[in-house]
């Protein structure tokens, strides 16, 4: 994380303009002394526990906003999803659509709830969704599934590591038995081994039913580690249930080689006349823009080539009770355009869609309502939700790249985010 010499000098000059070096050093030094009370109550959501937390902070107006009557009436429903509860934050939810998905599991027209504070986002995804629907919809398919946990084991030397690897390869059936005893829905499907000197990483891959599954695979892997500790003749010096090889909540180079959650690909062939009518550009210009963006992504070192998968996924994850931090890996993917017989072929591939329709935050009142809008709440719906996610990302890519090609991008933000006058064609066309 280097800084240009001139930038560093300018930053230091600003810091020293109001304080001398001794004052800055004193400000940055540790300050031992009395420790304020810790936040009480753990996961309790009783009136008394909530009041004790609010007593810590002098913010009566904030209490009214965070703990309004509706929140207080249903606070018990948050008990398993939050600790130190003091209220809820309201995020506006808009509908994007209709989005027609022709998938292996998702089939039909969807109005997609998106929670965001970013103006123009829902309008853009709605425009792209409507474009795809007019073109007959997008084809979307779940191609692979799996969630992994990667415990790490340390030994005295490489010889012990090798003996441990040999033992583990002979006991996969036992690992499967103890892991699946911890869950009704999780299944251990594979184990990958990485040996690095006196360290061994075991990457256990599971299917997780209709749950996103992070907690499920953690508990199952913990049971495997306990079995190893009890039965393996080569005793590790120490081990950890997760050693950062799984790609959990981060973009990684292995994203395109493996799967985390669900790997999904979506495509559509959009007629040139629709591109011209709805996006006010041409398939050829869209491909030109995509080609330049692809090179820009390579030059900047991005993982994958796409415009803004994170925008749509974050908004959908927030609305539908998903683990929003998983956008870090879910938004890794590629978008690709081609001119095909004068029309625009567009596709997206996302190898790490981490979504579930049971467990986690999916049962909370507002989040379940959003899943109900999609018709994707409860068991048997997670694969369909993943295919809708891919379709939504495709819609967002078409809309934002079309806006860049036509010049609508900045005009739309000026109109919707700042409320200022924009050209009539932007209001009537870019966000209809």
Residue 283 and residue 356 in one domain: yes
Q: Which of 145, 160, 323, 408 is catalytic?
A: 323
pLDDT of residue 3: 80
Q: Is 335 a domain residue? A: yes
Residue 176 and residue 301 in one domain: no
pLDDT of residue 246: 95
118 as an active site residue: the answer is: yes
pLDDT above 70: percentage of residues in the chain: 94
Using CB atoms within 10 Å of the CB of residue 303, give its burial: 0 to 12 exposed, 13 to 18 middle, 19+ buried. Answer: middle
Q: Is 69 a domain residue? A: yes
Q: In the chain, how long is the greatest CA-to-CA distance?
A: 75
Q: Which of 130, 239, 308, 413 is catalytic?
A: 413
Q: Which of 118, 134, 242, 427 is catalytic?
A: 118
Q: What is the pLDDT of residues 305-324, one digit of tens each?
A: 999 999 999 999 999 999 99
Residue 274 and residue 406 in one domain: yes
Mean pLDDT of 376-400: 98
SS3 for the chain is: CCCCHHHHHHHHHHHHCCCCHHHHHHHHCCCCCCCCCCCCCCCCCCHHHHHHHHCCCCCHHHHHHHCCHHHHHCHHHHCCCCCCCCCCCCCCEEEEEEEEEEECCCEEEEEEEEECCCCCHHHHHHHHHHHHHHCCCEEEEEEEEEEEECCEEECCCHHHHHHHHHHHHCCHHHHHHHHHCCCCCCEEEEEEEEEECCEEEEEEEEECCCECCHHHHHHHHHHHHHHHHHHCCCCCCEEECCCCCCCCCCCCHHHHCCCCEEEEEEEEEECHHHHHHHHCCCHHHHHHHHHHHHHHHHHHCCCEECCCHHHHHHHHHHHCCCCHHHHHHHCCEEEEEEEECCEEEEEEEEEEECCCCECCCCCCHHHHHHHHHHCCCCCCCHHHHHHHHHHHHHHHHHHHHHHHHHCHHHHHHHHHCCCCCCCHHHHHHHCC
Residue 222 and residue 184 in one domain: yes
**Has residue 349 got a pLDDT over 60?**
yes
Spell 391-429 as b/e; 16+ CB within 10 A means b.
bbbbbbbbbbbbbbbbebbebbbbbbeeeeebeeebeeb
323 as an active site residue: the answer is: yes
Residue 283 and residue 306 in one domain: yes
pLDDT of residue 414: 62
Domain CATH code at residue 331? 3.90.770.10
pLDDT of residue 413: 58
pLDDT of residue 422: 45
Token pair, residue 382, equals: 């997670």
Residue 162 and residue 78 in one domain: no
pLDDT band at residue 407 using 50, 70 and 90 as cut-offs: confident
Residue 47 and residue 106 in one domain: no
Nearest to 301 by CA among 253, 245, 353, 250: 253
Q: Which of 240, 271, 294 is the last residue of a domain?
A: 240
Query: Domain range for residue 55?
Result: 42-90
Mean pLDDT of 5-22: 91
Q: Is 21 a domain residue? A: no
Q: How many domains does the chain have?
A: 3
31 as an active site residue: the answer is: no
Residue 281 and residue 394 in one domain: yes
pLDDT of residue 265: 98
Domain CATH code at residue 192? 3.30.70.420
Residue 360 and residue 402 in one domain: yes
pLDDT of residue 427: 45
Q: Is 279 a domain residue? A: yes
pLDDT band at residue 416 using 50, 70 and 90 as cut-offs: low
Residue 273 and residue 300 in one domain: yes
pLDDT of residue 430: 45
Q: Is 53 a domain residue? A: yes
Residue 306 and residue 396 in one domain: yes
**Has residue 431 got a pLDDT over 50?**
no
Q: What is the mean pLDDT of the chain?
A: 93
Residue 291 and residue 407 in one domain: yes
Among the ranges given (53-62, 89-98, 183-192, 386-395), the one the predictor scored with the smallest mean pLDDT: 53-62
């Amino acid at each position: 994380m280097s800084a240009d010499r001139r930038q560093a000098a300018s930053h230091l000059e600003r810091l020293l303009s109001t304080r001398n070096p001794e004052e800055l050093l004193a400000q940055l030094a540790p300050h031992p002394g009395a420790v304020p009370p810790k936040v009480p109550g753990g996961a309790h959501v009783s009136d008394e526990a909530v009041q004790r937390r609010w007593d810590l902070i002098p913010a009566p107006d904030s209490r009214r906003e965070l703990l309004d009557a509706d929140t207080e009436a249903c606070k018990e429903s948050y008990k398993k999803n939050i600790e130190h509860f003091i209220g809820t934050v309201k995020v506006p939810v808009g509908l994007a659509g209709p989005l027609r998905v022709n998938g292996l599991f998702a089939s039909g027209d969807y109005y997609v709830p998106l929670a965001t504070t970013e103006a123009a986002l829902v309008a853009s995804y709605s425009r792209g969704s409507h474009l795809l629907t007019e073109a007959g919809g997008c084809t979307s398919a779940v191609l692979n599934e799996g969630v992994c946990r990667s415990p790490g084991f340390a030994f005295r030397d490489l010889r012990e590591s090798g003996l441990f690897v040999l033992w583990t390869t002979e006991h996969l059936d036992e690992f499967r038995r103890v892991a699946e005893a911890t869950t009704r829905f999780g299944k251990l499907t594979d184990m990958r081994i990485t040996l690095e000197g006196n360290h061994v990483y075991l990457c256990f891959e599971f299917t997780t039913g209709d749950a996103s599954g992070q907690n499920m695979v953690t508990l199952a892997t913990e049971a495997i580690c306990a079995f190893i500790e009890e039965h393996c003749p080569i005793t590790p010096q120490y081990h950890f249930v997760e050693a950062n090889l799984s790609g959990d909540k981060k973009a990684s180079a292995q994203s395109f080689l493996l799967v985390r959650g669900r790997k999904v690909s979506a495509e559509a062939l959009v007629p040139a006349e629709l591109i011209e009518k709805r996006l006010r550009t041409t398939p050829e210009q869209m491909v030109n823009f995509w080609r330049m963006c692809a090179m820009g992504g390579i030059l900047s070192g991005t993982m994958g080539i796409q415009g803004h998968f994170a925008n749509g996924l974050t908004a959908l994850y927030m609305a539908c009770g998903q683990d929003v931090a998983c956008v870090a890996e879910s938004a890794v993917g590629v978008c690709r355009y081609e001119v095909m017989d004068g029309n625009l072929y567009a596709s997206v591939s996302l190898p790490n869609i981490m979504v579930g329709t049971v467990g986690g935050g999916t049962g909370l009142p507002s989040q379940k309502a959003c899943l109900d809008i999609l018709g994707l709440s409860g068991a048997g719906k997670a694969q369909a939700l993943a295919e809708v996610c891919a379709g939504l990302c495709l819609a967002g890519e078409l809309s934002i790249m079309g806006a860049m090609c036509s010049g609508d991008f900045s005009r739309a933000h000026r109109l919707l985010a700042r409320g200022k006058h924009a050209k009539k064609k932007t209001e009537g066309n870019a966000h209809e």
